[in-house]
Amino acid sequence: MVALGSLLQRLAAWQGYFSHMLRFYGPQIRGGATAVRLSLDAEGVSLPKDSPDILVCFDWEKYLEVDREVPLAPETVVLYEKAPPSGLRLPKKSFEVDFSEASRQATGSDHNKNVVALGLVKRLLGLCGDRASEAIQTDEGLHLLKQNVAVLEAGELLLAGHSFAGLELCPAQDRSVKVVLHGNAAVAQGALRAGCRAFFGYPITPASEIMQEMQDKLPRLDGVFVQAEDEIAVMGLALGASIAGLKAMTATSGPGLDLMTEMMGLASAAEVPMVIVDVQRCGPSTGIPSKAEQSDLNHAIYGGHGEAPRVVMAPYDVPGCYRLLVEAINIAQRFQTLVIVLSDQWLGQGFVAVNDAFLKQDYPLEELKRPGGEETGDYRRYLMTDDFISPMAVAGEEGLTYQMTGLNHNEKGWPAFDFETNQQMHRKRYSKLMPLCGRDGLVDVFGNENCGRGILTWGSSAQIVLETVRWLGLQDEVKVCVPQLIHPLPERVERFVKSTDKLLVVEMNYSGQFYRYLRAQMDMPRKTELYARAGGRLFSRKELSGPVTEVAR
């Protein structure tokens, strides 16, 4: 089923169609119930509708395990292989099709029933543009089709006597070939673009694709890659590479972030540049590894003992994952700080087909503030400066030796056990990040700026909130604010809140972590509502239409 979805997405991308595909899978190691939900769009990436226009089903028993993710509507066209169990009422336009038999006739085995189904769906969608055969011949991702052109054609001939008017796609507005990738790939590629040359990881769902992409690409760039023994070692390796001058990072999910926490404190205390990407899944503890939740925000902002300032960012779409990694690595270097980027399973593992402009854009890169030369002999690694950022030498540089420590330390980096130095260094570490509050560009505001009704949301929830507002036609009634820099909080967020008299906060965690974080920093309108719930199922337009309509009213 995943192959069917991926091939269709790629074929459509060659014709210029945008798309979004999400995979649903259970706890099984291999096999089990799997579903993909794919939406194709002629104008821009939109989220799949709550119910599909076309449903292909190979196995009704498996379908019933995932039916909440792909519910049937009366107008859904259903193409299925085996008769449904009694009691399941199918929509009017349902067709039993023997995909396996068609595959057997074409190749002698039923292994290619998904290609048969693809042929049929392709015809229904009218996806027969001139580029299809070129795509099949040249795109590595379509090699399965290259070997099975006859099977694909056999599929196209099925149900020949029926008319499926209304399912044909409108022509793609912009015919350029779209790039297909998921958030995890975008994270890795963005990091490499920003100059990351050291990655250390440990396998964990749903973040492993980032590690795999780095493992694939870093050696060719003379970079350093190690799959370590655990996430504690991962952070140690990354900090070691960073003090020796490489732009270093790691990626993990909640349980790994737990193990990294002791060295999050060290990175903050010793002011070592570091980026951690947390592809969030349902917690606490092992939780639901394969499903998204936005519940690591508290940990990202506050996790660890003592007070260890760090930067927390959250992309909300796939191109944003790429752009934000460039930002994160730049900020880590410029401010000599830990940056935690919060993605999630939905964003990380959902494939989109999009314009590749974000890959081609020019990105200015930042480097460490360097010692100027006059320090030789008395280099002070933690020198108090006007902007609280000290020039940083890296291990191996002549004349600039210094000693780092997780102990409280003075300007030289030497251990210090007095209140005054402790206070001074806390002030340094907090104050150096304050200019980030002016980074209004890292806050996106959508809709009519002058209206007094607002929604604040973050991370992948923003996509479905924006989609719901559009779906309800409320763009002029309510504006939406999505900060991608969450901590420290850009001033623009407070200005947004102040400009509203009625506010809704939407996020996918049980306790409303973002809402509470905001409330701790600013007064919010008396009419502020929170829509928050645990992860495990995606938000849908239908689910959010109640609270969104309410705030716009």
Q: Which of residues 353-412 bind other proteins (CB under 8 A)?
A: 394-407
Q: Which of residues 470-509 bind other proteins (CB under 8 A)?
A: none
Instruction: Indicate which single residue of 15, 242, 253, 330 sits in contact with other proteins (rule: CB under 8 A).
Output: 242
Return the closest-CA partner of residue 214 out of 204, 227, 205.
Answer: 227
Nearer to other proteins, 84 or 240 (CB): 240
Residues 390, 399 contacting (CB under 8 angstroms): no
The continuous run of DSSP H or E covering 116 comes out as helix 113-125
What's the rounded Cα separation, in Å, for the pair 334 and 353? 33
Q: Which of residues 103-132 bind other proteins (CB under 8 A)?
A: none
301 contacts other proteins (rule: CB under 8 A): no
What's the rounded Cα separation, in Å, for the pair 452 and 13? 39
Strands 351-354 and 179-182: antiparallel
Q: Closest separation between CB of residue 232 and other proteins, Å?
A: 6
Bridge partners of 21, per DSSP, are 38, 351
Nearer to other proteins, 91 or 406 (CB): 406
Q: What is the DSSP string of 414-450?
A: -B--SHHHHHHHHHHHHHTTGGGGG-GGGEEEES-TT
What's the rounded Cα separation, in Å, for the pair 395 and 398? 9
351 contacts other proteins (rule: CB under 8 A): no
Nearer to other proteins, 35 or 238 (CB): 238
200 contacts other proteins (rule: CB under 8 A): yes
Q: Closest separation between CB of residue 245 and other proteins, Å?
A: 6
Q: Closest separation between CB of residue 420 and other proteins, Å?
A: 18
Instruction: Indicate which single residue of 117, 118, 198, 518 sits in contact with other proteins (rule: CB under 8 A).
Output: 198
Number of neighbouring beta carbons within 10 Å of residue 67: 15
Q: Closest separation between CB of residue 414 and other proteins, Å?
A: 5
Interacting span for other proteins (CB under 8 A) from 61-69, 99-107, 217-225, 440-448: 217-225
Return the closest-CA partner of residue 328 out of 306, 300, 303.
Answer: 300
The continuous run of DSSP H or E covering 225 comes out as strand 224-227
414 contacts other proteins (rule: CB under 8 A): yes
Q: Which of residues 256-295 bind other proteins (CB under 8 A)?
A: 262-263, 266, 270
What's the DSSP call for residue 288? B
Nearer to other proteins, 402 or 458 (CB): 402
Nearer to other proteins, 248 or 548 (CB): 248
Indicate the residue type of 200.
Answer: F
Q: Closest separation between CB of residue 250 and other proteins, Å?
A: 11
Indicate the residue type of 77.
Answer: V
Instruction: Indicate which single residue of 21, 142, 241, 347 sits in contact with other proteins (rule: CB under 8 A).
Output: 241
Nearer to other proteins, 236 or 525 (CB): 236
CA dihedral 438, 444, 448, 454 (to 10 degrees): -90
Instruction: Indicate which single residue of 4, 56, 77, 237 sits in contact with other proteins (rule: CB under 8 A).
Output: 237
Interacting span for other proteins (CB under 8 A) from 36-44, 182-190, 234-242, 346-354: 234-242
Q: Closest separation between CB of residue 17 and other proteins, Å?
A: 41
- Report the chain's C-alpha Rg in angstroms: 26
HEC sequence for 291-332:
CCCCCCHHHHHHCCCCCCCCEEECCCCHHHHHHHHHHHHHHH
Residues of this chain that interact with other proteins (CB under 8 A) are 198, 200, 219, 222-226, 228-230, 232-233, 235-246, 248, 262-263, 266, 270, 394-407, 413-415
